[in-house]
Every structure is written in structure tokens, then in C-alpha cells.
Chain A
Amino acid sequence: DVKVTQSSRYLVKRTGEKVFLECVQDMDHENMFWYRQDPGLGLRLIYFSYDVKMKEKGDIPEGYSVSREKKERFSLILESASTNQTSMYLCASNTGTGSFEQYFGPGTRLTVT
């Protein structure tokens, strides 16, 4: 079974802090994604990576950056957390060939106070 894990289930941070969210997948997938999910807005793509050190901006990259130094690990960085970044953050991965079925992690509920 594909497994995608995220470093924290719940996180509380203060405004202005630098926040790191980590995601690890164990299926040698090429593609990894970071989404945020908000009520009424659905899932929105923040960043996408198709290979080590490669990244592409999604629909809402402002205020975020990412790092992919190893194929299995994809980090989301909030440079200076703000209250409007309070959200559920979901990581996903898929293979770069074949069916492209997406597999999701359990999510991180981030609260910025």
C-alpha cells in the first residue's frame, strides 16, 4: 500500500513564525503536491514538484515556498505565518506515468494565532 505521511496532525503557531510542514511518501513517486483545504473553497493547489529540486507554482503560492531535496520528501514552508494561513494542509503524491492516481496524507490542521 502507498503510504503518505505528514509530520504533524495538529500545529499551532504564532503570527510571524516560520513554519515547516513535511511530507514523506514511500512509493518512489515522481510527483508530489501541497494543497490547502478551506470550507466552501475546496482543495487548492499551492505547489507541485515533479522531481528532486523541481517545483511549479499552483493556484495560490503567495506566502509559501517548498523544498524537495530528496525524492520521497516534500516540505512546505510558511516564511512568516499569518492568520489567513490557518487551514488544513494536505500533501499528495502520484507516479509520473500510468494512471496518475493521487494518494493523500492524513493532513495537518494548522492554526495561526
Chain B
Amino acid sequence: KQEVTQIPAALSVPEGENLVLNCSFTDSAIYNLQWFRQDPGKGLTSLLLIQSSQREQTSGRLNASLDKSSGRSTLYIAASQPGDSATYLCAVDLAGNQFYFGTGTSLTVIP
């Protein structure tokens, strides 16, 4: 069974710092990988989706990379802001309808 791990579980950084969140998965036969943001008590908001044939995707200050062979993805956040404080989850998709989620990294950006 696919296992998805996110380390660290929590991260605290000063405003303006660049940071990297990590996601690792055990089965490299994935269809795509998706990064989400979740604010407390809310649903998940899609940030970036990387298909298995892609190496990275960018949206504004966010950049996500995918290395299928090593079972790793990173989410890079540039020039962090207090509004970036949230929990970030990654999910791998095996077949378009089989999603496995990590338990997330809780990010706090200190003003």
C-alpha cells in the first residue's frame, strides 16, 4: 500500500524566509501528485498538481518539484508571508481515483 510521509510535522519561520516542505512516497508508480493548503477547520485548497511526466510546476511564489524515481516531492515557498501560515498536505494519485495523503506540515510564518 502506498505510504506518504511529510517531514517535518511542524515548521516555524520568520517572515521573508524561503522554505521547503518535503513529501515522500513509497510507490513510484503514481499518476500525479497534488499539493494542498488547509486552514484551520476548513477544507483543502489545491495549490499545484504535477503529472507523472512533469518535473515541476510553478504558481506565483510556489514551486513544486517531483522526482518519481526517488519517491520525493518538494514544495518551495519563496519570501514567506504570515498569510502563508496553514497546514500543507501532499497527495499522490495512483489511478485517477486512488489518492493517498500525507499527514501534513503545519507552517507558521512569524511577522
- Contact residue range for chain A? 20 to 34
Interface size on B, residues (CB 8 A): 22
Binds B, one of A12-20, A42-50, A75-83: A42-50
How distant is the Cα of A110 from the Cα of B7 in the complex, in angstroms?
29
- Please give me the residue from chain B that is nearest to A56 by CB atom: B97
- Residues in B lying within 8 Å of A, measured CB to CB: 31-32, 34, 36, 41-46, 49, 51, 89, 91, 93, 96-97, 99, 101-104
In the assembled complex, the CB of A59 is this many whole angstroms from the nearest CB of chain B, namely 9
Interface of chain A: mostly helix, strand, loop or mixed: strand
Q: Are A107 and B103 interface neighbours, CB within 8 A?
A: no
Q: What are 8 residue pairs bridging A and B, where the CB atoms are less than 8 Å apart in the complex?
A: A4-B43, A33-B99, A42-B104, A90-B43, A97-B96, A100-B31, A102-B44, A107-B43
B34 x A105 contact (CB < 8 A):
no
Q: Known interface pairs A42-B103, A45-B99, A102-B99. Does A107 touch B41 (Cβ–Cβ under 8 Å)?
A: yes
Instruction: Considering the complex, give the chain A residue whose CB is closest to the CB of B31.
Output: A100
Q: Do A40 and B34 touch (CB < 8 A)?
A: no
Q: Assuming the A-B contacts A42-B104, A105-B43, A107-B42, are A50 and B97 also in contact, with contact meaning beta carbons closer than 8 angstroms in the complex? A: yes
- With contacts A42-B101, A42-B104 taken as known, whether A100 is within 8 angstroms of B93 at the C-beta atoms is yes
Considering only CB atoms, which chain A residue lies closest to B104 in the complex? A42
Q: Which chain B residues border A101 with CB–CB below 8 Å?
A: 32, 34, 46, 49
